[in-house]
């Protein structure tokens, strides 16, 4: 039985751990914090429970696949509810469109709000999204790359994607299909998940729209933190070891440069392979300071960040509020230009408000509500001084909640800015890592293996396949596949030597 260490108990690390345990390895997950989940953590304040990271869950079958690898099932671990609507979209003119779970219901919603022509287009749009997804997932997402030429290893799938317009731009692809500008926004805002404006994102990222509008949005009882809890429980029930509050301080290698374990403040942990889930810049600095990071890590284009305001309030929202509420600003393209191109706050921002206590009242005290308010903002490479801007931002968000009909008698709160994301070790203060430009996608994204350090693998949003809960779960699976192939052909290791004593350069983390 080979020994494998996973650094980090977030979604990527726990996914890798479940798959590695299923392969029959002796797996230990080492986490620097006192709890599991990483960015998908939980914050508990005065009887309120807040999800600290993602709030939108799609593709639950990927969670089931991960749990099955560790001998469990989703149905045994998490109670899921499909949200209908997945989102309520509220526009500056006061109109509302619900993103309905059932395609027939969505056609009727579009018919009532946007007209017959756009309603007639929706069925063909769903077909287009579905074909994109079925081509992309097995051939270009759930796959390990060794070089850029690997894009050509499925030429038939690549040709079909080209025929479907996947390498055009998302914004124009949506406008060709629908006439109502409100649908343009509702069906393309997902480009923000990959760090781009809809006008710049490739149409292939419509697969995220597929996940939202076709596959559906789900809510786990207890909040999103129920997902890492389920993965951790399945992992330990299958015999894995989970160590908390033990920061890894360096990598141990043998005389041939192969991985032999890690160091922590508690001592050395020997292993035949290591999966590291840190942000790529931090991973290179900590684990392999003598290896030059790839260009995308050194000088890549990072996605915008977000301000997240966790607010526990007295009172319940009115009937106009749903679980997920997207408030679209009046200006659209100019808002993206300001934030992404100029590094400035959106002049007329769009915001997300999630109210998970609507579907799980246990997340708030009786008669109270748990609110998660998110506004996209520039990363730390922009021009915003967050020491000065945090208080005005809070006041604007408070007024926005009052204007939107949300309860605003605050019991407890926590405001998270890009400075806080940076303190968590995230480059440029963004939880969305590297933007998914074409040159930072697929084989051009930071790789999940390091040829100069055999036995070291990466998982998480900074490597393949990318950002978002489904992609991060797959990143753990892909790293585990790498480890399995490596350990199946690994030559005997030489005596270990500790490279972690070499001082780490901080130059890669800007």
Q: How confident is the model over 113-138, as a mean pLDDT?
A: 97
Phi (first) and psi of residue 246, to 5 degrees: -135, 85
Quick one: pLDDT at residue 421?
Answer: 98
With contact defined as beta carbons under 8 Å apart, do 250 and 500 qualify? yes
Q: How confident is the model over 73-90, as a mean pLDDT?
A: 98
Cα(6)–Cα(20) distance, integer angstroms: 10
Domain made up of 304-429: CATH architecture:
2-Layer Sandwich (3.30)
Quick one: pLDDT at residue 510?
Answer: 22
Q: How confident is the model over 69-81, as a mean pLDDT?
A: 98
Quick one: pLDDT at residue 489?
Answer: 59
Extents of the domains making up the chain: 3-40+224-299+437-501, 101-215, 304-429
Quick one: pLDDT at residue 10?
Answer: 98
Residue 494, pLDDT above cutoff 60: no
Residue 171, pLDDT above cutoff 90: yes
**333 Rama class: left (phi>0) / alpha (psi -120 to 50) / beta:** alpha
Quick one: pLDDT at residue 111?
Answer: 98
DSSP structural state of residue 492: P
Residue 502, pLDDT above cutoff 80: no
Quick one: pLDDT at residue 153?
Answer: 87
Q: Is the dihedral of CA 247, 250, 251, 255 positive or negative?
A: negative
Quick one: pLDDT at residue 490?
Answer: 59
Q: Which two tokens stand for residue 226?
A: 């129920």
Helix (H) or strand (E) holding 241: strand 241-243
Put simply, whether the predicted model's pTM sits higher than 0.75 gets the answer yes
Q: How confident is the model over 310-315, as a mean pLDDT?
A: 98
354-377 burial string, b = 16+ CB within 10 Å, else e? bbbbbebeebbbeebbbbbbbbbb
Per residue in 37-59, pLDDT (tens digit) is: 999 999 999 999 999 999 999 99
Per residue in 139-151, pLDDT (tens digit) is: 999 999 988 888 8
Matching CATH topology for 3-40+224-299+437-501 and 304-429? no
% of residues, the chain, pLDDT over 90: 93
Q: Which two tokens stand for residue 333?
A: 């393209």
Quick one: pLDDT at residue 115?
Answer: 98
3-state secondary structure at position 465: coil
Give the pLDDT band of residue 1 (cuts 50, 70, 90): confident
Instruction: Return mean pLDDT, the chain.
Output: 94
Q: Which two tokens stand for residue 471?
A: 């992609």
Fold of 3-40+224-299+437-501: FAD/NAD(P)-binding domain (3.50.50)
Quick one: pLDDT at residue 150?
Answer: 84
Per residue in 253-296, pLDDT (tens digit) is: 999 999 999 999 989 999 999 999 999 999 999 999 999 999 99
Per residue in 434-449, pLDDT (tens digit) is: 999 999 999 999 999 9
Cα(3)–Cα(197) distance, integer angstroms: 43
Quick one: pLDDT at residue 495?
Answer: 45
Quick one: pLDDT at residue 149?
Answer: 84
Which residue spans within 292-367 are E strands per DSSP? 305-314, 324-327, 351-354
CB count within 10 Å of CB 290 equals 12
Place of tokens 């399945």: 234
Q: How confident is the model over 160-189, as a mean pLDDT?
A: 97
Q: What is the CA radius of gyration of the chain?
A: 22
DSSP calls for 11-55 = HHHHHHHHHHHHTT-EEEEE-SSSSSBTTS-EEEETTEEEESS--
With contact defined as beta carbons under 8 Å apart, do 465 and 478 qualify? yes
Of 24, 29, 10, whose CA–CA distance to 274 is shortest?
29
Cα(504)–Cα(109) distance, integer angstroms: 56
Residue 455, pLDDT above cutoff 80: yes
Of 193, 233, 169, whose CA–CA distance to 461 is shortest?
193
Quick one: pLDDT at residue 147?
Answer: 84
With contact defined as beta carbons under 8 Å apart, do 358 and 81 qualify? no
Quick one: pLDDT at residue 403?
Answer: 96
Residue 375, pLDDT above cutoff 60: yes
Quick one: pLDDT at residue 306?
Answer: 98
Q: Which two tokens stand for residue 407?
A: 């309860």
**How far is C-alpha 228 from the geometric centre of its chain's CA atoms?**
13
Place of tokens 């990927």: 62
Quick one: pLDDT at residue 261?
Answer: 98
Per residue in 180-225, pLDDT (tens digit) is: 999 999 999 999 989 999 999 999 999 999 999 999 999 999 999 9
With contact defined as beta carbons under 8 Å apart, do 508 and 298 qualify? yes
Give the pLDDT band of residue 496 (cuts 50, 70, 90): very low
393-421 burial string, b = 16+ CB within 10 Å, else e? bbebbbebbeebebbbeebbbebbbbebb
With contact defined as beta carbons under 8 Å apart, do 338 and 346 qualify? yes
Per residue in 218-258, pLDDT (tens digit) is: 999 999 999 999 999 999 999 999 999 999 999 999 999 99
Cα(377)–Cα(27) distance, integer angstroms: 38
């Amino acid at each position: 039985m080979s020994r494998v260490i996973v650094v980090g108990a977030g979604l990527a690390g726990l996914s890798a751990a479940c798959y590695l345990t299923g392969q029959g390895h002796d797996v230990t997950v080492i986490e620097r914090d006192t709890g599991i989940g990483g960015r998908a953590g939980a914050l508990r304040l005065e009887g309120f429970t807040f999800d600290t990271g993602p709030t939108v869950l799609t593709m639950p079958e990927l969670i089931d696949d991960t749990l099955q690898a560790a001998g469990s099932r989703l149905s045994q671990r998490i109670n899921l509810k499909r949200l209908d609507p997945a989102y309520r979209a509220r526009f500056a003119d006061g109109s509302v469109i619900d993103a309905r779970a059932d395609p027939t219901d969505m056609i009727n919603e579009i018919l009532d709000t946007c007209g017959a022509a756009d309603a007639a287009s929706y069925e063909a749009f769903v077909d287009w999204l579905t074909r994109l997804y079925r081509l992309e997932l097995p051939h270009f997402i759930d796959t390990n790359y060794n070089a850029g030429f690997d894009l050509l290893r499925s030429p038939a799938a690549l040709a079909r994607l080209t025929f479907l317009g996947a390498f055009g731009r998302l914004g124009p692809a949506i406008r060709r299909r629908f006439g109502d500008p409100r649908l343009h926004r509702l069906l393309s805002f997902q480009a923000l998940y990959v760090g781009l404006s809809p006008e710049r994102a490739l149409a292939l990222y419509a697969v995220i729209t597929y996940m939202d509008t076709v596959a559906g949005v789900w809510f786990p009882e207890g909040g999103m933190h129920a997902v890492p809890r389920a993965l951790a429980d399945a992992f330990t029930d299958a015999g894995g070891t989970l160590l908390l509050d033990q920061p890894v301080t360096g990598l141990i290698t043998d005389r041939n440069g192969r991985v032999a374990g890690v160091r922590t403040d508690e001592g050395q942990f020997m292993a035949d392979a290591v999966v590291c889930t840190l942000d790529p810049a931090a991973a290179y600095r900590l684990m392999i300071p003598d290896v030059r990071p790839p260009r995308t890590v050194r000088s890549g284009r990072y996605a915008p960040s977000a301000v997240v305001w966790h607010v526990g309030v007295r009172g319940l929202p009115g009937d106009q509020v749903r679980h997920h509420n997207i408030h679209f600003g009046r200006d659209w393209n100019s808002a993206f230009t300001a934030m992404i191109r100029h590094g400035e706050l959106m002049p007329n921002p769009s915001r997300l408000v999630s109210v998970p206590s609507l579907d799980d009242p246990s997340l708030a005290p009786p008669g109270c509500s748990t609110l998660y308010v998110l506004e996209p903002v520039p990363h730390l490479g922009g021009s915003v001084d967050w020491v000065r801007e945090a208080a005005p931002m809070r006041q604007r968000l408070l007024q926005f909640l009052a204007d939107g009909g949300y309860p605003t008698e605050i019991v407890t709160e926590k405001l998270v800015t890009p400075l806080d994301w940076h303190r968590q070790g995230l480059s440029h203060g963004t939880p969305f890592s590297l933007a998914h430009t074409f040159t930072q996608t697929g084989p051009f994204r930071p790789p999940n293996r390091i040829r100069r350090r055999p036995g070291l693998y990466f998982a998480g949003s900074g490597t393949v396949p990318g950002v978002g809960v489904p992609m991060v779960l797959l990143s753990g699976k892909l790293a585990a596949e790498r480890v399995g192939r490596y350990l199946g052909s690994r030559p005997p290791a030489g005596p270990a030597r500790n490279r972690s004593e070499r001082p780490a350069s901080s130059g890669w983390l800007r």
